Amino acid sequence: MLREIRNLQQHDPALTRRWFQSDYFDLFIWSQADGTPAMLQLCYDLRRNERAITWKKDIGFFHDGVDDGEGSGPHGSGGNATPILVANGPYDAEKVNSRFMRESADMPVELRKLVLSKLHEYSISGPIMRRAKPRRSVRREGWQQPPQSLADLPAAAPAPEKPSPN
């Protein structure tokens, strides 16, 4: 479950920063003096392959991975460099959003709604990870198949006979 880390050092007097943490997530929310959200960053999958979704007011979304500075990636030189965020591919909305729903149950409702709405917005607008390739065609039962030719159309039923007037 996400729990709030209290008594944070505030670096920007114009913004208040809050931090919520679990084994899987780190959530940072910056708010203006009037309480309006200015930015949020949800870091996820912290122990395996850390990535972050960042939203900034008036700018939009970023989805990044963490280059830990230890490897031979674009930032790492095999040494001991400072970790940085680098552009990272599709977002696994199904996994991350559902896990956030479970782990955020004890958060303040207004903040939980904010984060869930931003995750949902990014899930719709950003690149997402598909579980399977999209189908090229719709599966249909035999009776749902469109006719290939006029000969495949069912014959019209004969018209009912009119009773003779006696």
Which residue range is the domain that position 49 belongs to?
Answer: 3-125
User: What is the distance of C-alpha 75 from the center of its chain?
Assistant: 26
| 119 within a domain of the structure (yes/no) | yes
In the three-class reduction of DSSP (H, G, I as helix; E, B as strand; rest coil), residue 30 is classed as: strand
pTM for this structure? 0.67
| 66 within a domain of the structure (yes/no) | yes
- Which residue in 6, 3, 4, 103 sits closest to 45, CA to CA? 103
Integer Cα distance of 61 and 54 in angstroms: 6
| 93 within a domain of the structure (yes/no) | yes
E strand map for 45-140:
51-56, 60-67, 84-87
How confident is the model over 7-21, as pLDDT tens digits? Answer: 989 989 999 999 999
| 155 within a domain of the structure (yes/no) | no
Integer Cα distance of 106 and 1 in angstroms: 7
The answer to whether the beta carbons of residues 53 and 42 sit under 8 Å apart is: yes
In the three-class reduction of DSSP (H, G, I as helix; E, B as strand; rest coil), residue 32 is classed as: strand
Q: What is the pLDDT of residue 98?
A: 95
How confident is the model over 116-162, as pLDDT tens digits? Answer: 999 999 988 876 555 555 555 556 666 666 666 666 656 666 666 77
Q: How many domains does the chain have?
A: 1
| 9 within a domain of the structure (yes/no) | yes
